Amino acid sequence: MATETDQMQTNTKPIRVLVVDDSAVMRKLISNLLEKDDEITVVATAMDGIFALAKLEQFRPDVVTLDVDMPRADGLSILRQIVAQSAVPVVMLSSLTATGARTAMEALEIGAVDVVCKPKTAARIGEVAKELIEKVKAATHGRIRQGEGVAVRPGEGARARASGREVKIVAVGASSGGPHALRQWLPQIPADFPCPIVIAQHLPETFTTTFAKWLDEICQIEVREAKAGDPVVPGCALIAPGDAHLTVRRKAAGVEAVLDRSGLVNGHMPSVEVLFRSVAAEYGSEAVALIMTGMGDDGAEGVGEIKRRGGHTIAQDEESCMIFGMPKVAIRRGYVDQVIPLNRIAEYLVATVGLTTKAEIRGNAK
């Protein structure tokens, strides 16, 4: 079975990139590391946002890498213009600081496909080479419907509470496009939502703290970055830290969050796979899994494990995904009960935790 990455590698047309950074050294280093990949060619560079807009029109790149801090016109201002004027996906480069994290969140909200943390010194740019190359490749699929599409008929396989069991947790996994998507539906979850929500979102270390606060400001439920020992309770959504896997563990006093820093899984930490398998083990048929926008297959087998244990599984639909990778893999493997558009996720989850029959579930998915 071909993966999303395999499919992209069959495309012989080079990905044309415009590199925008106010540092001549960084422009050269970023261009060099990108062009080490045979599938990427840097067609132009720009020293600031004004030049970038001109070169965008002149060279028509497939992807733009855009520094946040630049003279004359900062990265966010230029990002707004690119989003408003063209469909060219943008990968932001941001410093790994609290200020950089807040700016990155704003960039993702404006419409950037993803963000890469710049090292503190130009000499260390090679440390993010693999990540930047992967995200530039993923960006070519951003906001574009990929593949022939995979559909699940409304109501097909829906089993949430059909067995009479109560839904006691909602586990969510997302990658590229996830911050924006979560910001759309999580604020719609009511304060009295009867079960906890646990989230694995691929983001750099330090960014998840800001991301959680960013969501908490607009949500009715509490949203915070998970800490070891946090109670997993209704009225709260816990987000995995950017440097740890989030798992759950039952104890006599209830369920608590556990952080695992043992290493990357599926190339990620936090990994959706780790979270979903933990939820499957602790909650079984009482779990609901939601897999959302993102490249690759992280979490697909975890969705399958929740399904095998009798839980209910949901995927964000192709049309509303920024990158239809993770959901597509889970769907193709037969692990997804329902495919739901982004603007119906909150409504569907609220309905699902209170439903008792397949017929009612079908009605709410239409």
Enzyme catalytic residues: 175, 202, 298
CB 278 within 8 A of CB 302: no
Instruction: Tell me: cis bond preceding 270? Omega within 30 of 0 counts.
Output: yes
End-to-end CA distance of the chain: give it in Å, rounded. Answer: 31
Is residue 5 packed enough to be buried (19+ CB in 10 Å), middle (13-18) or exposed (0-12)?
middle
Q: Catalogue the long-range contacts made by 329-334 (C-beta closer than 8 Å, 24 or more residues apart).
A: 329/3, 329/4, 329/296, 329/297, 329/300, 330/291, 330/297, 330/299, 330/300, 330/303, 330/304, 331/150, 331/152, 332/1, 332/150, 333/1, 333/300, 333/301, 333/304, 334/304
Tell me the C-alpha distance between 178 and 184, whole Å.
Answer: 10
The token pair that represents 134 in the structure block: 């992967």
Q: Which helix (H) or strand (E) holds 222?
A: strand 222-225
Q: How far is CA 346 from CA 122, 185, 300, 364, in A?
A: 43, 5, 21, 11
**256 C-beta neighbours (distance < 10 Å), count:** 17
CB 183 within 8 A of CB 345: no
Q: How many helices (H) and strands (E) does the chain have?
A: 13, 14
Tell me the C-alpha distance between 197 and 290, whole Å.
Answer: 10
3-state secondary structure of 291: strand
CB 13 within 8 A of CB 38: no
